[in-house]
Structure 1
Amino acid sequence: MRTRDIGDDPRTRRARTGAASVFPVPAQRLAVVDLGNELHTRPHVGAMSERLNWSVLHLHEAEELGWALTVNRPAAVLVIIPADLPPDPTTVARVRRATRAPIAVLADVTGPQSVALISAGADTVLSTSTREEEMGARVLALVRRAAEGSDAGARYLLSGPLRVDLWQREATLDTEPVRLTNTEFKLLVCLMEAGGQVVPASRLTSRVWGWAGGDDGLNTLRIGVGRLRRKLGDTVHEPRFVLSVRGSGYRFGGQVTEVGAREEERRTSETGSDLLLAERLARRCEELASAPDARSAASLVARSLVQEGTVDAIGLHLLDGDRLQLVAHHGFSAAWQEAAQELRLADSGFAAVRTLTAEEPVQLRRFSTKAGYARTAALAHVELPGTYLFVPLRSGSSVVGAMGLHRHSSEPFGPLSITYLKAVAALCGVCLSARWRTTST
């Protein structure tokens, strides 16, 4: 998959103020999980993001959390607990499963409630009375610590279908969780970290149970090994993972790979999102099929892409003679709508026009009028700066339109997002073009 990418222009950057000037970091995206729709009652959250010069991804649908956080990869997540409800650790746990970004919870809670939230995956709990300056400084501190420790040593031990998470102290076999006791987990890790070497029984009993040895220790080790084998699906006669070495001890039978946190996230992020991707595409198909006409169908798709958190704004144009006609948009201002109503094909200063001839996605980040897309740059200045992606719409062998997408963040669209948006564009091209020709004739 290829995209054309125009680098950012330093003259378009906004000056940082407040906490961001004290703790300088690149422009990032803050995901705000607000299932109670109370963000409007928390003005200091918006003020904090402005001070940091960060864009805000507002998530208020529980079923969209996993997808939106996986695709957008925010620098930090702020979970707002509704004032009239007790804190729900399951929401925090759901967020933690979707992202390794630091999680701050904004709520007025008791000590035990705070402990429950942190146990579920939160990194800190902030009072609703926390001032925007302090909130910004605390969020930045969490992000800095996460960046500093992101790849400090291995987090995962991998061996074929077996995956051990050293941080969460969890193990999975063929993606299914293995319920290990603390002792069994330590025993497994001790064997896997030995690099295929035999671990003497005395060392195992010392490291796992803290015993110096003796018959009692050996009997306990044999019992522990037997239980671990059963949970891993091993048998005494055909073990895969825990092998006995007569007269010496035990060794791990598979090849073990140590993987850092970010490396494993990169390895699994796309495959872990396959089901979510399929679900979103199924919804887009249903929207296109249920709408009575091209404009209604395009509007449904545009609204959904913004609401699910994939983009912050979208415009859909279809070919109409010698121009591209705007048929749907969501998230852009009225001024942008007026300026982008019709784009003439003769004007190559529009990135949407250029993507028709390039027949591939065009990605632009904080570009200037000198970047080769002067007309699109002028339109971009009507909106907030950020990242723009233009994807052609096809029907058969013909290009029939263009889909323009905007993110407030300067972070580029990644391969997973581009693949998903290209699939949506393909659906729109096929489904909308026939209806558009019908209404145009």
Structure 2
Amino acid sequence: MSERASVTERLQALLECRGWPCLLVTDETRVRWVASVHKPLAVVVVAGREAWTRDVLAAARQATTAAVALVGELPTSRVVSALHAGTDVVITDSDHDDEIFARLLALVRRTSAAHDPGVRYLQAEILRIDLWAESATLDGRPLNLSPTEYKLLAYLMRNAGRVVPAAQILGRVWGWAGGDGLNTLRIFVGRLRRQLGDDARRPRFVTSVRGRGYCFAAPVVEQGDEGAGAVRANEQALLLDSVSRLAEATMTCSDAVSAAQMIVASLVEEGTTDAAAILRVMNGRLWLLAQDGLSRAWESAMDPGLPLESSYASVYAARTKELAQFSRMSANRPKYSGTAALLSRENLDVGVFMPIHLGRHCWGSMGVLRRSGQPYSAATLSYFRSTLAVYASHIPRYANSCSSTRGTADEQIL
């Protein structure tokens, strides 16, 4: 987070070149949302105006137990104030890049071991790890994992469905910077696969992607202490609050297009997703009403509308009235070849497409996409569905808003 673009760009480049993905926000409202929903290992605040910095630090500390670092050239009084406000460390931005990264790495290594009190188990088919006891079982049989093997397995499972770069794994599990230790990583992955009974040629759990890193391929479910699916209470509260605000805001819209624009802009701005689009069925095609986070080239490619063919995930959702989801576009290219072609230059690898229901019929669909490779949580998917329900409830008021340009009212639904 920052008001100072030059320092922010430097820190982002510093962290991302070492395999640490970053999400940038610029105000206390968004940091509260991002810290709750995206569950970062660390929040790095670049010091700006005193009041702004104080508000952001307070929001970050209220929203997450992750490490909070403040970066800037500050007088002693502001350093003391920041530490009292919940900052874990204050780093001088004039320090060498290697020193800044080493300080952040030490901070994350020390604080990331703390478990999430709402989630105890990670379950993937017959594999289960206990985050509190730092142990694992396979089909009920305890696994004899070394501490490093356990940390490696837990880190991969927390990033299930996403290809994690080798350098990032080495940084988070071993605390090593750069690409040093690649051979060590290969050895430990081999040991872990043997413990899990995984075949390297046809892996069930841990897959390798040549030149990129490793991926935990099986779906992972978070469970609480009693075995039920656990979702953070503050995340639920924030989602419900967002739905309420959207419901009030869309009441002021006079047509389907302006309401769609408001919804997709809100989803992207609050950090729930990186891109969103709402489409409508008209004249035997699916037409774009509004989008945010996608390029002009993509928008131009959508101008002719999409034929109602199932090679498009958005069309599949509209025609089948079911959710269409993928966690890796490359793996789903054969099924959604049309969508893959449209998104080939957008660098978006995770997507969910949902039908917009109007009674028993489908009026259109909404797609949400992200770059991180991490699938959307169950709570976030519920939030998307609730948002669409709010939008659909207003559609009767918008009945004639688009029919004059692309079809009659009888041609608007499937």
| d(CA) in 2 for partners of 1:74, 1:85 | 24
Q: Does 1:272 align with 2:272?
A: no
Q: Which residue of 1 aligns with 2:24?
A: 58
Based on CA coordinates, which of the two structures has the bigger radius of gyration? 1
Any residues of structure 2 matched to 1:191-210 within 5 Å, and which? none
| d(CA) in 2 for partners of 1:421, 1:72 | 16
| d(CA) in 2 for partners of 1:342, 1:130 | 53
* Aligned-partner residue type, residue 280 of structure 1: S
Any residues of structure 2 matched to 1:107-186 within 5 Å, and which? 107-150=72-115
**Corresponding residue SS for 1:284:** helix
| d(CA) in 2 for partners of 1:433, 1:350 | 27
**Corresponding residue SS for 1:57:** coil
Distance 1:271 1:129, change over 3 A: same
**Corresponding residue SS for 2:24:** strand
Distance 1:263 1:103, change over 3 A: farther
| d(CA) in 2 for partners of 1:370, 1:322 | 24
| d(CA) in 1 for partners of 2:73, 2:316 | 52
Q: Which residue of 2 aligns with 1:22?
A: none
| d(CA) in 2 for partners of 1:133, 1:351 | 44
| d(CA) in 2 for partners of 1:324, 1:54 | 38
Structure 2: unaligned runs, 5 residues or longer: 121-223, 405-414
Cα displacement (A) at 1:273: 3.6
Q: Which residue of 1 aligns with 2:4?
A: 38
| TM-score (norm. length: structure 2) | 0.64
Task: Render the CA deviation track for 1:32-78: whole Å, top value 9, x for unaligned.
Answer: x33xx333553202312431445433322323433332122223211
Q: Which residue of 1 aligns with 2:284?
A: 322
Distance 1:387 1:109, change over 3 A: same
Task: Render the CA deviation track for 1:229-263: whole Å, top value 9, x for unaligned.
Answer: xxxxxxxxxxxxxxxxxxxxxxxxxxxxxxxxx96
Distance 1:150 1:272, change over 3 A: closer
* Aligned-partner residue type, residue 430 of structure 1: S
> Does the 8 A contact of 2:255 with 2:397 survive in 1?
no
Cα displacement (A) at 1:126: 1.8
**Corresponding residue SS for 2:402:** helix
Task: Render the CA deviation track for 1:120-176: whole Å, top value 9, x for unaligned.
Answer: 322222222244444444434433333334379x99xxxxxxxxxxxxxxxxxxxxx
Q: Which residue of 2 aligns with 1:390?
A: 353
> Does the 8 A contact of 2:324 with 2:352 survive in 1?
yes
Distance 1:148 1:67, change over 3 A: closer
* Aligned-partner residue type, residue 306 of structure 2: R
| TM-score (norm. length: structure 1) | 0.60
Q: Which residue of 2 aligns with 1:93?
A: 58
Q: Which residue of 2 aligns with 1:103?
A: 68
Q: Which residue of 1 aligns with 2:368?
A: 405
Task: Render the CA deviation track for 1:249-284: whole Å, top value 9, x for unaligned.
Answer: xxxxxxxxxxxxx969x9875433444333211221
| d(CA) in 1 for partners of 2:65, 2:280 | 39
> Does the 8 A contact of 1:394 with 1:430 survive in 2?
no
Q: Does 1:424 align with 2:396?
A: no
> Does the 8 A contact of 1:297 with 1:432 survive in 2?
no
Structure 1: unaligned runs, 5 residues or longer: 1-32, 156-261
| d(CA) in 1 for partners of 2:225, 2:18 | 27
* Aligned-partner residue type, residue 354 of structure 1: Y
Distance 1:79 1:349, change over 3 A: same
Q: Does 1:80 align with 2:49?
A: no
* Aligned-partner residue type, residue 80 of structure 1: V
Distance 1:365 1:320, change over 3 A: same
Q: Which has the higher contact order (CA 8 A, sep 6+)?
A: 1
Any residues of structure 2 matched to 1:292-303 within 5 Å, and which? 292-303=254-265
**Corresponding residue SS for 1:291:** coil
Count of equivalent residues: 298
**Corresponding residue SS for 1:318:** strand
What is the root-mean-square deviation of aligned Cα atoms in Å?
3.1
